[in-house]
Chains A and B, each alone.
Chain A
């Protein structure tokens, strides 16, 4: 009886040691999977500093490495589903873009009515309407953590974002965010067909009205490889924006 007890005690002791060793090894070998949803929400704050704000976006289009066109926009955004874009360049004066939930309109002075458009349609150069008007990825995409990898010297989490609403600009985005603070570093954009159409690098960040915000983003055309567009953000500031600014029935009031 006492011999059986002794064997059992030794077995239990070995089992306990083995269990503890396994726990230690597993905790070192495979760190806990990061919360992809929380990462995505945090990364959005580098592009959307306040619940309601105004920012100016200058887009410079490059062809074969040469800058050939500039466009200026004033973007007013409220929440995750209301954006109003005022076109400021001489070529586009009087044009406006409204995003409301999944729907988007462009108001062109030379057409007789507001035109329904999609986020994927080109705004200028390599920038789609959605690249300027739909920047809250957590509202549009479901994230899944894929892996950790380095982009240059920066340790990044790689997220696979899949569109969860029809108003999303792209069907899928591969998104690299910095491990230390979820700051966006790089993105690849894919169509429903699976075609890789664009890539982006999030090049510069700077303080603006007390927040660390994206200052420069570059979009690369993956189909016509000789062009890219640089989006420079400036003057971001919180602003109280009335809901009626974003009403589709108010097109003639702008």
Chain B
């Protein structure tokens, strides 16, 4: 049997066997929990000094409903969509499926079928080990418009004591063509050992590379967290990072060095360039509550740099809440560097996004 078919068939078979063999006794209360949320974002991005004859303003309205139903703590159905209407060089609308999946929990096993976001990488602005994760964008690591989409997959998790095993098979058949994804089979083993949250990841991209990875995070004292990834996919990729918190201000720094192969390389980087080296630094504070009248404000500043071509992009983010449901934000990116560098090649000198968000 074709290997790409064998894995999902085995996963479905194990779902059936586990559901029949390992159903725990019902909990003391039969329960159905339903949750929903709705987010509406009106965003405008202004591009300064455009080097190409295209509009200087991008307007977008995003409607993002999501709901989930959990029955008897065993069955889950969750869906999250993105409706996007935009105006740039012309008007356009899109409907995206962020996540839609069904889950079954049976004994120590969890099974998931559908489109789902998983987060296996430990990097904040970069990741090499997050083979099924949404892509990290270092100038927008928080995905401020919630545009990230999950992968279509069948996944089985077995959790026993401190050990968690996951086996996933993800198809690229339903992914957007520009996503440039392949069918992926991946395995992850996660364990907490002496405070080290450690994971081993291994897998294979159909028609592509096999890969292996080791990730860790560790808290040191009351203020430091360190994290890292070491990945082998044709060549080694390494990420090291740390988070430091003092007086409510959080600093995150990361150093990342991927090989310049198609899987890792950014579009703006020349294919003949060698291994790339990146640095990322951010400082931010959510809720400036120490300053009278600034409690609803959050501020952060960051910079991401390509250390090889010496280009960089400073990023400033500010947001303010109005009550429990409305907030507004400003996001500014100022790419700098030579015209042939990764960040300096952006066709604008600054991009300023302003928007309002309603959240229910």
Contacts and interface: CB of A to CB of B under 8 A. Distances in A.
B223 A118 contact: yes
A30 to B, nearest CB: 40
Interface stretch (B1-9, B13-21, B187-195): B187-195
B24 A103 contact: no
A90 B324 contact: yes
Contacts of B37: 90, 93-94
A3 interface: no
What DSSP secondary structure best describes chain A's contact surface? Answer: mixed
B197 A250 contact: no
Nearest to A113: B119
Interface in B124-149: 124, 127, 130, 133-134, 136, 141-144, 146
Interface residues of A, number: 44
Interface stretch (A147-155, A180-188, A235-243): A235-243
B321 interface: yes
B68 to A, nearest CB: 10
Nearest to B142: A110
B101 to A, nearest CB: 10
A121 to B, nearest CB: 6
Given A90-B359, A240-B28, A252-B116, A118 B219 contact: yes
A111 B221 CA distance: 23
B243 A115 contact: yes
A111 B136 CA distance: 10
Given A90-B360, A249-B191, A116 B248 contact: no
B326 to A, nearest CB: 10
Contacts of A90: 37, 324-325, 359-360
Nearest to B161: A243
Contacts of A63: 295
Contact of B248 (A101, A122, A243): A122
Contacts of A93: 35, 37, 359
Given A114-B119, A116-B225, A103 B195 contact: yes
A242 B105 CA distance: 11
A225 interface: no
B110 interface: yes
Q: Which of A70, A93, A239, A252 has the most CB of B within 10 A?
A: A252
A117 B250 CA distance: 11
A41 interface: no
Interface residues of B, number: 63
A61 to B, nearest CB: 9
Contacts of A249: 157, 159, 163-164, 166, 188, 190-191, 199
B245 interface: yes
Contact of B197 (A91, A103, A112, A192): A103
A120 interface: yes
Nearest to A124: B287
> Most B CB atoms within 10 A — which of A240, A242, A244?
A244
Contacts of B123: 112-113
Nearest to B287: A122
Contacts of B360: 90
A179 interface: no
B313 to A, nearest CB: 18
Interface string A190-217: 0010000000000000000000000000
B119 A248 contact: no
B196 to A, nearest CB: 10
A91 B324 contact: yes
Nearest to A86: B35
A250 B157 contact: yes
B159 A247 contact: yes
B118 interface: yes
A103 to B, nearest CB: 6
Contacts of B217: 114, 116
A248 B243 contact: no
Contacts of B289: 227
Among A68, A121, A238, residue most surrounded by chain B Cβ atoms (within 10 Å): A121
Given A63-B295, A116-B217, A250-B164, 4 more contacts: A114-B217, A118-B245, A240-B27, A244-B110
The 6 closest A-B pairs by CB, nearest first: A249-B164, A249-B190, A244-B159, A116-B225, A110-B142, A252-B118
Interface of B: 24, 27-29, 35, 37, 73, 103, 108, 110, 112, 116-119, 121-124, 127, 130, 133-134, 136, 141-144, 146, 157, 159-164, 166, 188, 190-192, 195, 197, 199, 217-219, 221-223, 225, 227, 243, 245, 248, 289-290, 295, 321, 324-325, 359-360
6 contacts: A93-B37, A103-B197, A110-B143, A113-B123, A243-B159, A247-B162
Interface of A: 63, 68-70, 89-91, 93-94, 100-105, 109-118, 120-122, 192, 224, 227, 238-240, 242-244, 247-253
